[in-house]
Structure 1
């Protein structure tokens, strides 16, 4: 199983993923926990370029291509081998983030992103958990974590556009996209995620 986790800043993706990994391992599953951009040493170096504020402004196209370069490495070195070995892969962000952040937030041509997906992304998540909360709430949480990265420094309008794209993608693919109310407690969100896995017969009900 390949499960991705999406959402704007501060919605609790990392907390949910770690809790879900613990739960799945208790159920006897072999789980690979990873993230985007990143997931391999080389892709993590690209992540640093993308997230670190720079004196030189990064163009939107440069950002998009760097993300897909990291993703290509991530798929080849981590995701595909794990799936081939029958393991579960849980990824903090994947392809939907490109449509939301670069397509929605940056306003890049969606057809260009889709072309890159077709060329360089041979695998799609079986299930995507979208943690959704008001942008203002998420940014309040993100600011409490410490210094903001290059994306987190964007204005609220940017993240509103990102959230709108997530909404449209969830509407277009209701079987893959599962919305979780991220304004709830971490325990409530985890309980809902586990229930979804059981409903989809990915886990046995006790």
Structure 2
């Protein structure tokens, strides 16, 4: 590739996206690509400190406050880590990115796609118009995936919201995927780790071929 790729991993809690990101990184490296793995909020010292704030269930943050904190962390993350890696022709795999903001702070709070305009503009400002080349949404029934979350233990404010909130999350991600089918690909997350990883590899192979075709 003559340029880097930004591939983001999204979906409801318990979908296995973090594990699949690491497996995807191993696969891409086996093909000879340079890969950077990161997460949001996080990726830099400042952004990791913001992460500890926004995910702390003991802190009563409004949706607006959460949004601004996420965007501040994303601005730092993109500037210090993501763009330099892309400029170096690396593939960046990121655990959550802008679509999570659209869902968690937008669609889950009653907004429609048409009402996300202001939030989209704020995100584009924070990222200087950076949009993922590919987004994988790990989808599954929350009542099935909840068992995986329980094995990890409930640790942050969103996982404590309960099943109904997870159902709204799922609906939000599916709404985004329907609106942007070329960028956002849905991966069935209810299978075994190996089965899901095989599906991810198929999607990655397709994306890599497209990237080569446009060189």
| TM-score exceeds 0.5 | yes
Equivalent residue in structure 2 for 1:23, among 7, 27, 34? 27
Verify the 8 A CA contact 1:53 1:149 in the aligned structure 2.
yes
Verify the 8 A CA contact 1:4 1:94 in the aligned structure 2.
yes
Equivalent residue in structure 1 for 2:62, among 47, 59, 63? 59
Verify the 8 A CA contact 2:136 2:186 in the aligned structure 1.
yes
Instruction: Measure the CA separation in 2 of the matches of 1:194 and 1:147.
Output: 30
Q: Secondary structure of 2:92's partner?
A: strand
Measured after TM superposition, the shift of residue 189 of structure 1 is 1.2
Q: Secondary structure of 2:173's partner?
A: helix
Please report the TM-score for the alignment, with normalisation by the length of structure 2: 0.89
Establish whether residue 89 from structure 1 lines up as the match of residue 92 from structure 2. Answer: yes
Instruction: Measure the CA separation in 2 of the matches of 1:49 and 1:107.
Output: 24
Equivalent residue in structure 2 for 1:38, among 42, 45, 50? 42
Verify the 8 A CA contact 1:197 1:203 in the aligned structure 2.
no
Instruction: Measure the CA separation in 2 of the matches of 1:128 and 1:152.
Output: 22
Hey, what does 1:71 align to over in structure 2?
74
User: Bigger CA drift: 147-156 or 102-111?
Assistant: 102-111
Establish whether residue 198 from structure 1 lines up as the match of residue 201 from structure 2. Answer: no
Measured after TM superposition, the shift of residue 202 of structure 1 is 5.5
Where structure 1 has 5 or more consecutive residues not aligned to the other structure, the ranges are: none
Equivalent residue in structure 2 for 1:119, among 114, 125, 141? 125
Verify the 8 A CA contact 2:85 2:92 in the aligned structure 1.
yes
Instruction: Measure the CA separation in 1 of the matches of 2:41 and 2:143.
Output: 24
Deviation per CA, 1:88-141, whole angstroms, max 9, x where unpaired? 000001000011111122346523311212322221111101100011122221
Instruction: Measure the CA separation in 2 of the matches of 1:30 and 1:148.
Output: 32
Hey, what does 2:161 align to over in structure 1?
154
Please report the TM-score for the alignment, with normalisation by the length of structure 1: 0.93
User: What number of residue pairs does the alignment pair up?
Assistant: 203
Where structure 2 has 5 or more consecutive residues not aligned to the other structure, the ranges are: none
User: Bigger CA drift: 123-132 or 56-65?
Assistant: 56-65
Instruction: Measure the CA separation in 2 of the matches of 1:106 and 1:175.
Output: 26
Q: Secondary structure of 2:7's partner?
A: strand
Measured after TM superposition, the shift of residue 159 of structure 1 is 1.8
User: Bigger CA drift: 81-90 or 102-111?
Assistant: 102-111
Instruction: Measure the CA separation in 2 of the matches of 1:163 and 1:70.
Output: 24
Moved beyond 6 Å, runs of 4+:
none
